[in-house]
């Protein structure tokens, strides 16, 4: 065996790539963000029992396995024409609320937050979770770790397995919750609500109290006017697990509200020659390219979009924060993409409150957790809100429940067009004619896409485990004039 | 008593990327030691902190792609080899090294010894179960290496 000095690359070689095209005047004309294509999922799914999809699809993405588990479980319910009993449904949502709290925590403290908590101008080496801990305090770091551990423990109690849950079956879940387990989960949930309140205070003290940060959030370079998508309950409040998907227009008026089974009437996907990823858009508005506004079918599906698409939050503390959010930022909808970080913390608070509500729900320990399917399986769609956007699983099966056709629209894919648009705006803000482009560009551009928390699951676990980023700048004739690299 | 975690990482439904998980799954029936825990996961970054906490030693098995590497080639690496930078440049997660640092900073018991066995892979972007023949052939070599590492 060789002990050698290695030069690892990742699977994103040549892909995790931003291309910026300049015009004749040397100003930014276009910018595209490209990510790798994973091939053959539909074919892989064909011939497998639909109830297995909930376990298999947790492997698609190393970031949000739980989201795929829930979307696939709900799709399998629909395929088998079966509705889970109340406890089955509530256990799924309880697991999901704990997962959401943990995932949003990771993003705020480790991934997106460092830009604001440590500062956009801080040296790159400090802009990470260790830098955040230095600024907010070691105690905060302990809270983050504890929250994540408690969330994971809750997922494993209900899910049967940490990280890659196996509990979801057509018609419900595989096992009921004991009173002892419920008490354990309730304890975690109480701490989670306190942690979420603490996180709201971090936003207040460190971000909102700093005028320079607020100016950056409000700046044109980080503003996109698009349609917004998010799941809502019967009262049009944000819901991550169940409900209808609501879309509002760039002025905040309801454009459409659809049930999962209707998604193909609303969303279509465009293929552009320069990208492997498809671009979902609103069918009835139409594809006009990478532009925003009322006449372009581009929509956004992020924490900010969910707040924009809903009328409020279903829990009291999160609702109060929701109202303060819009008062502070000048009313609905908010188009400032960096405000997504604050929206994410409001969702974190909602998820923690919901975690506690469900842990205290008298029905949660009901032993009836599954309705055994009796109808012949056909076709079904399951939709949940993944942390990074609306997640749709669609399966068509034969009469034995064997998958004949599968279609997935994953969270980040929804935001494919707006991410490119945001990168373009950010690039236009920093690239000026005749001025050299520096590493500062890289961070301004990174901040544009970090607010979306894009997730390319494929990139998360291959060594060395960091996403490489490459920025290529081309002149009007398409000739490369500059290339900046990080982690490549 | 040294508590050891043998951790297979990768994606079992993405062709060669599943090699680390395949290796530890095969080791499960060969290792009979209460102080050795064998786990697998399709995750990275901060989630690794939670998984590795509480162990004295970790042996990680994963897929890797290097410049000019030959599929099936096996490397034994130290964590420092993967340090790279500490930049938070990833839009979604921390690298392996930072994850360990984070755990230590927070006063968690992170493994003092971490050995990484990495197998050079080829196809990691097609949904498929099973590795290509070149990578498949490397599996026994890595299994032996992990077993030897456990003896040491």
Task: Please indicate whether residue B85 or residue B30 has the higher confidence score (pLDDT).
Answer: B30
Where does the pLDDT of residue A138 fall: very low under 50, low under 70, confident under 90, or very high at 90 and above?
A: confident
Instruction: Tell me which range, A7-16, A190-199, A211-220, is most confidently predicted by mean pLDDT.
Output: A190-199
**Is the pLDDT assigned to residue B91 strictly greater than 50?**
no
Distance CA B148, CA A317 (A): 55
**Is the pLDDT assigned to residue B122 strictly greater than 70?**
yes
Using an 8 Å Cβ cutoff, are A382 and A67 in contact? no
Q: State which residue of chain B sits closest to A130, comparing Cα positions.
A: B102
Average pLDDT value over all residues in chain A: 87
Cβ contacts of B86 on chain A, cutoff 8 Å: 125, 128, 130
Q: State which residue of chain A sits closest to B83, comparing Cα positions.
A: A464
Task: Please indicate whether residue A134 or residue A464 has the higher confidence score (pLDDT).
Answer: A134
**What domains appear along chain A, each with residue ranges and CATH number?**
22-38+417-425+434-486 (no CATH), 40-416+426-433 (1.10.645.10)
Predicted pLDDT at A443: 74
Residues 6+ apart with CB under 8 A from B96: A463, A464, A465, B44, B45, B48, B60, B79, B82, B116
Percentage of residues in chain A having pLDDT higher than 70: 87
**Do the Cβ atoms of B92 and A453 come within 8 Å?**
yes
φ, ψ at A161 (rounded to 5°): -165, 135
Distance CA A293, CA A421 (A): 12
**Is the pLDDT assigned to residue B82 strictly greater than 70?**
no
State whether the Cα torsion A81-A87-A91-A94 is positive or negative.
positive
CB-count exposure of residue A408 (10 Å: 0-12, 13-18, 19+): buried
Mean pLDDT value across residues A397-414: 91
Predicted pLDDT at A40: 78
Predicted pLDDT at B84: 46
Distance CA A64, CA A387 (A): 8
Residue B88 touches partner A, C-beta closer than 8 Å: yes
**Is the pLDDT assigned to residue B94 strictly greater than 70?**
no
**Is the pLDDT assigned to residue A335 strictly greater than 70?**
yes
Predicted pLDDT at A36: 61
**Is the pLDDT assigned to residue A170 strictly greater than 90?**
yes
Predicted pLDDT at A62: 64
Residue A12 touches partner B, C-beta closer than 8 Å: no
Percentage of residues in chain B having pLDDT higher than 70: 89
Tell me the shortest Cα–Cα distance from B11 to chain A, in angstroms.
Answer: 6
Task: Please indicate whether residue B50 or residue B20 has the higher confidence score (pLDDT).
Answer: B20
The number of beta carbons lying within 10 Å of the beta carbon of residue A126 is 17
Residues A282-292: tens digit of each pLDDT: 999 999 998 99
Predicted pLDDT at A441: 66
Where does the pLDDT of residue A442 fall: very low under 50, low under 70, confident under 90, or very high at 90 and above?
A: low
Task: Please indicate whether residue A10 or residue A435 has the higher confidence score (pLDDT).
Answer: A435
The domain locations on chain B are: 4-151
**Do the Cβ atoms of A1 and B42 come within 8 Å?**
no
Distance CA A167, CA A172 (A): 8
> Which pair of tokens denotes residue A314?
């279903």
**Do the Cβ atoms of A128 and B44 come within 8 Å?**
no
Where does the pLDDT of residue A7 fall: very low under 50, low under 70, confident under 90, or very high at 90 and above?
A: very low
Predicted pLDDT at A6: 39
**Do the Cβ atoms of B89 and A467 come within 8 Å?**
yes
3-state secondary structure at position A427: helix
Predicted pLDDT at A162: 75
**Is the pLDDT assigned to residue A462 strictly greater than 80?**
no
Predicted pLDDT at A136: 84
Dihedral angle computed from the Cα positions of residues A46, A50, A53 and A55, in that order, rounded to the nearest 10 degrees: -140
Using an 8 Å Cβ cutoff, are B89 and A124 in contact? yes
B15 sits in which H/E element? none
Where does the pLDDT of residue B103 fall: very low under 50, low under 70, confident under 90, or very high at 90 and above?
A: confident
Residues A242-300: tens digit of each pLDDT: 999 999 999 999 999 999 999 999 999 887 776 667 789 999 999 999 899 999 999 99
Question: What does A249-287 look like in DSSP terms, one character per residue?
Answer: -TTS-EEEEE-GGGHHHHEEEEE-TT-SSEEEEETTT--
Residues A348-366: tens digit of each pLDDT: 999 999 999 999 999 999 9
**Is the pLDDT assigned to residue A21 strictly greater than 90?**
no
Mean pLDDT value across residues A383-389: 94
Using an 8 Å Cβ cutoff, are B62 and B24 in contact? no
Number of CB pairs < 8 Å for A and B? 207
Predicted pLDDT at A468: 52
Facing residue for B128 by CB, picked from A6, A40, A145 = A40
Of A16-25, A169-178, A224-233, the poorest mean pLDDT is in: A16-25
Q: Which residues share a beta bridge with B58? A: B5, B114
Residue A440 touches partner B, C-beta closer than 8 Å: no
Predicted pLDDT at A31: 81
Where does the pLDDT of residue B89 fall: very low under 50, low under 70, confident under 90, or very high at 90 and above?
A: very low
Residue B37 touches partner A, C-beta closer than 8 Å: no
3-state secondary structure at position A404: strand
Predicted pLDDT at A485: 63
Residue A142 touches partner B, C-beta closer than 8 Å: yes
Cβ contacts of B19 on chain A, cutoff 8 Å: none
Mean pLDDT value across residues A367-394: 96
Question: What does A39-105 look like in DSSP terms, one character per residue?
Answer: B-HHHHHTTSBGGGHHHHGGGT-SS-HHHHHHHHHHHHHHHTT----HHHHHHHHHHHHHHHHHHHH
Mean pLDDT value across residues A419-430: 87
Residue B140 touches partner A, C-beta closer than 8 Å: no
Where does the pLDDT of residue A465 fall: very low under 50, low under 70, confident under 90, or very high at 90 and above?
A: very low
Facing residue for A461 by CB, picked from B42, B65, B116 = B42
**Is the pLDDT assigned to residue A149 strictly greater than 50?**
yes
3-state secondary structure at position A453: coil
Task: Please indicate whether residue B70 or residue A16 has the higher confidence score (pLDDT).
Answer: B70
Instruction: Tell me which range, A110-114, A272-276, B56-60, B112-116, is most confidently predicted by mean pLDDT.
Output: B56-60
**Domain B4-151 homologous superfamily, CATH:** HybD-like (3.40.50.1450)
**Do the Cβ atoms of A467 and B92 come within 8 Å?**
yes
**Do the Cβ atoms of B65 and A125 come within 8 Å?**
no
Percentage of residues in chain A having pLDDT higher than 90: 59
Predicted pLDDT at A35: 65
Tell me the shortest Cα–Cα distance from A204 to chain B, in angstroms.
Answer: 23
């Amino acid at each position: 065996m060789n002990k050698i000095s290695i030069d690892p690359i990742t699977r994103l070689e040549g892909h995790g790539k931003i291309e910026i095209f300049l015009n004749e005047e040397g100003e930014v004309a276009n910018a595209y963000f490209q990510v790798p294509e994973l091939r053959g999922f539909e074919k892989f799914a064909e011939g497998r029992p639909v109830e297995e999809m909930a376990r298999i699809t947790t492997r698609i993405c190393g970031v949000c396995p739980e989201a795929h588990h829930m979307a696939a479980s709900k799709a399998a319910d629909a395929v088998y024409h079966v509705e889970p009993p109340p406890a089955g449904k509530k256990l799924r949502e309880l697991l999901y609320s704990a997962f959401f709290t943990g995932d949003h925590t990771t993003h705020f403290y480790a991934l997106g937050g460092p830009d604001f908590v440590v500062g956009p101008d801080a040296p790159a080496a400090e802009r990470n979770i260790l830098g955040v801990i230095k600024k907010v305090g070691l105690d905060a770091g302990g809270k983050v770790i504890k929250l994540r551990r408690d969330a994971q423990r809750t997922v494993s109690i209900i899910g049967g397995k940490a990280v890659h849950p196996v509990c979801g079956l057509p018609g419900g879940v595989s096992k009921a919750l004991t009173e002892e387990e419920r008490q354990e989960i309730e304890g975690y949930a109480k701490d989670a609500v306190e942690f979420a309140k603490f996180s709201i205070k971090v936003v207040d003290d460190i971000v909102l109290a700093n005028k320079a940060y607020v100016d950056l959030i409000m700046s044109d370079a980080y503003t996109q006017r698009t349609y917004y998508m998010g799941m809502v309950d019967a009262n049009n409040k944000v819901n991550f697990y169940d409900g209808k998907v609501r879309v509002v227009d760039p002025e905040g008026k309801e454009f459409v509200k659809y049930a999962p089974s209707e998604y193909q009437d609303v969303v279509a996907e465009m293929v552009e020659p320069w990208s492997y990823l498809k671009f979902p858009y609103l069918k009835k508005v139409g594809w006009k390219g990478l532009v925003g506004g009322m006449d372009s079918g581009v929509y956004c599906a992020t924490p900010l979009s969910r707040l924009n698409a809903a009328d409020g939050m279903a829990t009291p503390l999160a609702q109060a924060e929701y109202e303060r959010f819009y008062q502070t930022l000048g009313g609905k909808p908010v188009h400032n993409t960096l405000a997504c970080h604050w929206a994410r913390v409001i969702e974190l608070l909602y998820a923690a409150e919901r975690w506690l509500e469900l842990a205290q729900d008298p029905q949660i320990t009901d032993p009836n957790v599954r309705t055994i399917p009796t109808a012949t399986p056909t076709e079904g769609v399951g939709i949940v809100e993944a942390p990074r956007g609306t997640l749709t699983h669609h399966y068509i099966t034969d009469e034995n429940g064997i998958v004949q056709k599968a279609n997935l629209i994953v969270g980040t894919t929804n935001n494919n067009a707006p991410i490119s648009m945001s990168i373009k705006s950010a690039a236009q803000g920093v690239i000026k004619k005749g001025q050299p482009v520096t590493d500062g560009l890289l961070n301004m551009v990174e901040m544009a896409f970090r607010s979306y928390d894009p997730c390319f699951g494929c990139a998360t676990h291959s060594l060395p485990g960091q996403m490489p980023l490459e920025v290529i700048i081309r002149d009007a004739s398409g000739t490369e004039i500059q290339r900046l690299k990080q982690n490549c | 008593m040294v508590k050891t975690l043998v951790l297979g990482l990768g994606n079992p439904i993405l062709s060669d990327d599943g090699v680390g998980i395949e290796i530890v799954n095969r080791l499960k029936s060969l290792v009979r030691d209460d102080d050795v825990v064998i786990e697998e996961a399709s995750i990275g970054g901060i989630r690794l902190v939670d998984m590795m906490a509480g162990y004295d030693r970790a042996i990680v098995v994963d897929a890797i792609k290097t410049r000019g590497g030959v599929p099936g080639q096996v490397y034994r690496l130290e964590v420092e080899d993967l340090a790279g930078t500490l930049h938070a440049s990833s839009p979604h997660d921390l690298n392996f090294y930072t994850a360990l640092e984070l755990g230590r900073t927070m006063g968690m018991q992170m493994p003092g010894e971490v050995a990484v066995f990495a197998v050079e892979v080829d196809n990691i972007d097609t949904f498929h179960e099973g590795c290509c023949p070149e990578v498949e052939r490397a599996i026994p070599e890595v299994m032996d290496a992990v077993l030897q590492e456990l003896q040491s």
